[in-house]
Structure 1
Amino acid sequence: MMGEIKRILNICTECGICLEECDFLQKYCNSPKELAVNYLQDKFVNTPHIPYSCNMCTFCKSICPQGLDIGKMSLEMRQEMVQLGIGPLEQHASIKEAQEFYISDAFKVIIPSEDKNTKKIFFPGCSLSAYSPDIVIKTYEYLNEKLPGIGIMLGCCGGPAYLIGDQNTFKPISENLEYEVKKVGADQIIVACPFCYNVLKQHNPGLNPILIYTVLNEIGIPESKHESVIYNVHDPCTTRYEHEIPASVRSIIKKVGHSINEIPHSKEESHCCGMGGMVYAVDEELGKLRSKRTIDEADKDIVTYCATCRETLQGQGGHVIHVLDLIFNTELENALKMPPNTPELSTGNMKLLKKILTQEE
């Protein structure tokens, strides 16, 4: 029996604490134990979307008296369902297609440092590259000013495949990424996406991953020319237990000259933006419910440090900006009003970014 399912079956007291904060549990069960029992009975053959409807945000774990993790259980279910041929689902076809693009030559590239003595690699990831090629370029240029021996890599950590339980696709992507980074001589990868950081920390610890926000807080940021604003902060759920990262982001916001009004659910108690676990693919309305929790709590414009969170919350009526916009974007008002990118525009942005970096015609 899979590890977290076994723990939930043996330890869950069905106290109901996790249900109060989880739209997924409220919709599909009366307790995590019930969910586990139902899965063991028939592997959700007739309702395979259920394990794929969990955001896997780990909020349940943070508030459970026993530290049980329904997201981990859901991932175990997904992985077994893939092995049994039940998953991934038809609704995941676009995710698989996007994953193929992220690791294709149309986007993927690694560029060593100019002096060919590469020590670190900047890895902006898929979502930030799709959101703003300009922000990626300016961030990389600034890192080049401050850190000798830094190169850049476009590509994917394998996250989409990992989240839908497709280990056979995820593992080669993960292994190839580590091989490519080490091949150019780098001993550390600087990551822009909190989810990429989470994946790399778990599966590629030899790359010594560190988030760009920790780095920028240490090396300093360019002088700001913006007027001071009070912001709310949305912390991506993948940083829930990474106390240094939310602290670094808040330090950067203040260094830029802004101040923060904390919303009730932030840092360790942050809600998922709604996109976690690729839930939107199988249950868009459930994803929207989670997005709405954060938007409804906000009384100011929101700063986040995940491009996927930015796009998701903005798409549900939030006023959201990426923290790197505060540093490198001179048109903040336009950024706050900018709607989420269409899939076509995201793909175009990623192709454009590679073209600029490689100086292709």
Structure 2
Amino acid sequence: MPVSKLLRQELQHTADECIDCGKCMALCRFLAESGSPVSLAMRGLSSDKDADTLAIRSYDCSVCGLCSAVCPVAATPERMFKEFRNHAQANGLFKLQRYSPLLKYERLGRHFPFKGESIPASCKTVFFPGCTLPAMHPEATTMTYKILKRLDPKLGLVFNCCSKPSKMLGLNDKYEEQLSSLVQRLERKGVGRILTACPNCYMTFKEFNTKLEIVSVYQALKSSGFAPVIPAIKEVTVHDPCVTRYETEMHKHVRTLIKSTGVRVIEMKHSRTKTLCCGEGGATQFNNKGYAKNWSRKRIGEARRTGVPIVTYCAGCVNFLGGKYPTIHVLDLLTVKRKNIPKPATFPFNYLNRLILRFSIR
């Protein structure tokens, strides 16, 4: 299929900028086995047939952005792989049946009984906890909302899905239609600010063309002066979700909040801008479990070398890492008094947690 103007631009940019130094390939199994970014870009430019083949292959990529983060020049390969996915879906090159559990999860989040909102009169700010945080950490979600509500009695609450899965899989039209509908409804109700707890929601809203102010709940909590609980844990290492790779202020806010509890932070070799994917990125596990598990092993391997539990601020990362290594969500650490780190909630309890929270929290 003829490539789009956007894909051709990204292919040309990578072909022009990548110097084939191998730094990204040394860290990424996908690139090590597929080829350097410049070689892939040149293939995509050489023929539409090769571009189609690479578009299908892009579903093995975690689109985590580490390739761009370690690049010594101006190449941004992950943008090329995202456009490959858009090309695949726009031209019907790659079927998404194996992703049906993820797309169903998204669809449920946008419909009753999982969807719901409470927006008081004169409400200007809403708390948007996302899909996975309420499912995995209902107590922390409730406590965080109560803290924010004390700071702003007119705070609203919105249970919905940001449609990140559709965006990530290349279903651009679907994602834009769904998120546009949500944003427009909030704007009509007079909302001007969204507090997000999920980093994927934060980035999805932030990258969307909206006048709404998108603020991380970690920034809000850092500025609030609230008193966190004193955890039983005394030392942790922080896993920065790959979607927040360039959100340096969020990295600082999370660490400041952790340290405010008296907990010491021991950094892993790869963190902040050069963080590793937990394995969930790009939903690669649905198409290539080996690549996803490889990322997970790398991340857990670095955590083990610190000798302390992982704290992260993505419920999806907790879900992906927590079954193999002690991992806690930062909001759970800050707001819920615990003696031990709980195991991630599994089906059907994660769905039940969402429903209970949806109808109990006010």
| Common fold by TM > 0.5 | yes
Assess if the C-alpha contact under 8 Å between 2:232 and 2:338 holds in 1.
no
Deviations 1:82-132 (A, max 9, x none): 11111343222222222211111121112113xx22010000001102112
Assess if the C-alpha contact under 8 Å between 1:189 and 1:209 holds in 2.
yes
Structure 2 residue 325 is the aligned partner of structure 1 residue 344: no
Residue 73 of structure 1 is matched in structure 2 by 80
Superposition RMSD in Å: 1.8
Within 1, Cα distance between the matches of 2:347 and 2:228? 34
Within 2, Cα distance between the matches of 1:52 and 1:354? 33
Within 2, Cα distance between the matches of 1:140 and 1:342? 23
Within 2, Cα distance between the matches of 1:135 and 1:167? 32
Structure 2 residue 320 is the aligned partner of structure 1 residue 307: no
Which of 329, 332, 341 is matched with 2:336 structurally? 329
Structure 2 residue 108 is the aligned partner of structure 1 residue 91: no
Greater shift after overlay, 49-58 or 251-260? 49-58
User: How many residue pairs get matched?
Assistant: 351
Which of 148, 152, 155 is matched with 2:153 structurally? 148
Structure-to-structure mapping, 1:214-225, within 5 angstroms: 214-225=219-230
Counterpart AA for 1:96: L
Structure 2 residue 64 is the aligned partner of structure 1 residue 57: yes
Within 2, Cα distance between the matches of 1:151 and 1:337? 29
1:241–1:48: structure 2 CA closer, same or farther, 3 Å change rule? closer
Residue 195 of structure 1 is matched in structure 2 by 200
Aligned structure 1 segments of 4 or more residues deviating by more than 6 angstroms:
none
Counterpart AA for 1:144: K
Residue 273 of structure 2 is matched in structure 1 by 268
Report the CA distance between 1:46 and its aligned residue: 6.1
Deviations 1:192-235 (A, max 9, x none): 01111111111044111011001100002324243460111101
Within 1, Cα distance between the matches of 2:38 and 2:97? 28
Residue 111 of structure 1 is matched in structure 2 by 118
Once the two structures are aligned, what percentage of the paired residues are identical? 30
Structure 2 residue 183 is the aligned partner of structure 1 residue 178: yes
Report the CA distance between 1:348 and its aligned residue: 2.0
Assess if the C-alpha contact under 8 Å between 2:232 and 2:339 holds in 1.
no
Q: Secondary structure at the match of 1:292?
A: helix
Which of 236, 243, 248 is matched with 1:238 structurally? 243
Residue 355 of structure 1 is matched in structure 2 by 359
Report the CA distance between 1:249 and its aligned residue: 0.5
Within 1, Cα distance between the matches of 2:78 and 2:357? 34
Which of 285, 288, 292 is matched with 1:280 structurally? 285
Report the CA distance between 1:354 and its aligned residue: 1.3
Assess if the C-alpha contact under 8 Å between 2:11 and 2:80 holds in 1.
yes
Which of 12, 31, 34 is matched with 1:6 structurally? 12
1:326–1:271: structure 2 CA closer, same or farther, 3 Å change rule? same
Gapped regions of structure 2 (runs ≥ 5) = none
Residue 135 of structure 2 is matched in structure 1 by 130
Report the CA distance between 1:34 and its aligned residue: 2.3
